[in-house]
């Protein structure tokens, strides 16, 4: 049974310079028609691929809080009507620090949302402007504290490092503020320059002053050290949590388990088939209204691909890949399939192995992509 669902809200009031997610400006968009289509897609999907109940729900974007309180209420009400949620469900909604009102928070709380994820990125005023964020340091702090007072006690913030002109001191100050706030989980990602973004165009013009690779690696090591010192356990390459606050939804991805994906541009993985929904809003709505599935691409994942994905996703977890779980799922040992690649990366000092698991060394965390690539195309 599938136990996780991702729901995509593609609307934004402002487009950040680094973002390549499926999103559109909110102004003059058919938001209500989109919510109608989203609800219909969920109804049809749960009828076609039922589940006993969902353990995790993640509403992301875009910016889910670009919806009004009334629109959020309609969407959340429909979710509860369509599918059963576990009594201890992890129910996450992403939010912009400067776009969430008390009324919206009350609606989220009323419908069982118990985890908020704020796209803070940095607490530095100039860096926020440089990356195209519209909130301020003060707004972010106030919003986090306000959400906590209103009863949200599982709060994540996204942080970024390796930003243009970002220094070690910038990052130290952002971490200092982070540790002073009621935050239980931190996702800290290095900046990746994606095509079709403002930053990509600036990079092509050679006008994007990025930190060096050495500086970026130092930032990552500093984040790992500071998080550990302040009681945030690193459980995945980019994720840190206080005890009991690991993201159960994201573990679905890293465990290579199935999940529903709803909305324009959303990805899903159901019964061994990965699919992608139509990205353009009007196209997505049109397909739903015509009674069609919004999937524009479906891929049956072969056993070989599943094993490869299991390795490079599982190695993102600090605990690594459990060898017994691998055998129980695929009927082969990891060494039967990936023996040479494992031996090579152990010689390189990037992998370590115990009787139970295979996992990245400290140096391997810094060179994760090099390790992951070594498991592609070798299982056939």
Cα–Cα dist 126/121, whole Å: 12
Stretch 100-128: mean pLDDT: 97
Contacts of 256 (CB under 8 A, 6+ apart): 306, 309, 310, 313, 314
For the residues of 109-131, what is the DSSP string, one character each?
Answer: HHTT--EEEEEEE-S-HHHHHHT
Average of pLDDT values for 101-106?
A: 97
Domain ranges of the chain: 4-254, 303-373
Query: Identical fold at 4-254 and 303-373?
Result: no
pLDDT tens per residue across span 61-71: 889 999 999 99
Q: What is the dihedral of CA 344, 345, 346, 352, to 10 degrees?
A: -150
Residue with tokens 């050495």: 214
First-to-last CA distance in the chain? 28
Cα separation, 52 vs 46, whole angstroms: 10
Residue-wise pLDDT for 350-379, tens only, equals 999 999 999 999 999 999 999 999 999 876
Q: Which of 128, 209, 228, 222 is nearest to 168 (CA)?
A: 222
Listed range (126-130, 276-280, 374-378) with the worst mean pLDDT: 374-378
- Per-residue pLDDT band at 210 (split at 50, 70, 90): confident
Confidence of residue 7 (pLDDT cuts 50, 70, 90): very high
Among candidate residues 373, 368, 10, the one with its CA nearest the CA of residue 189:
368
Topology adopted by domain 4-254? pyruvate-formate lyase- activating enzyme (3.80.30)
Q: What is the CATH code of the structural domain delimited by 303-373?
A: 1.10.10.920
């Amino acid at each position: 049974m599938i136990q996780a669902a991702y729901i995509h809200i593609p609307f934004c009031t402002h487009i950040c310079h680094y973002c390549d997610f499926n999103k559109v400006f909110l102004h003059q968009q058919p938001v209500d028609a989109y919510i109608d289509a989203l609800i219909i897609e969920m109804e049809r999907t749960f009828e076609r691929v039922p589940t006993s109940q969902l353990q995790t729900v993640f509403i992301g974007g875009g910016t889910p809080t670009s919806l009004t309180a009334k629109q959020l209420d309609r969407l959340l009400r429909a979710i509860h009507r369509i599918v059963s949620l576990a009594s201890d469900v992890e129910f996450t909604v992403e939010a912009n620090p400067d776009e969430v009102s008390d009324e919206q928070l009350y609606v989220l709380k009323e419908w069982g949302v118990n985890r908020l994820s704020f796209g803070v990125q940095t607490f530095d005023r100039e860096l926020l402007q440089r990356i195209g964020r519209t909130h301020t340091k003060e707004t972010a702090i106030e919003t986090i504290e306000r959400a906590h007072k209103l009863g949200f006690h599982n709060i994540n913030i996204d942080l970024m490092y390796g930003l243009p002109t970002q220094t070690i001191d910038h990052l130290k100050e952002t971490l200092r503020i982070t540790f002073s706030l009621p935050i239980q989980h931190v996702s800290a990602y290095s900046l990746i320059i994606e095509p079709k973004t403002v930053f990509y165009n600036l990079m092509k013009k050679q006008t994007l002053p990025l930190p060096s690779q050495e500086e970026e690696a130092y930032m990552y090591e500093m984040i790992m050290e500071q998080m550990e010192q302040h009681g945030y356990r690193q459980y995945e390459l980019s994720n840190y949590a206080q005890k009991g606050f690991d993201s159960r939804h994201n573990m679905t991805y890293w465990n290579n388990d199935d999940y529903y994906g709803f909305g324009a541009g959303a990805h899903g993985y159901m019964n061994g088939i990965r699919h992608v929904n139509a990205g353009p809003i009007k196209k997505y709505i049109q397909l739903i209204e015509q009674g069609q599935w919004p999937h524009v691409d479906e891929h049956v994942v072969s056993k070989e691909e599943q094993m490869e994905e299991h390795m490079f996703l599982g190695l993102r977890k600090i605990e690594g890949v459990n060898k017994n779980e691998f055998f129980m799922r695929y009927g082969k040992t990891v060494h039967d399939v990936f023996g040479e690649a494992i031996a090579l990366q152990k010689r390189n000092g990037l992998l370590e192995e115990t009787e139970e698991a295979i996992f990245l060394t400290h140096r391997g965390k810094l060179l994760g992509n090099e390790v992951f690539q070594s498991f592609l195309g070798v299982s056939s």
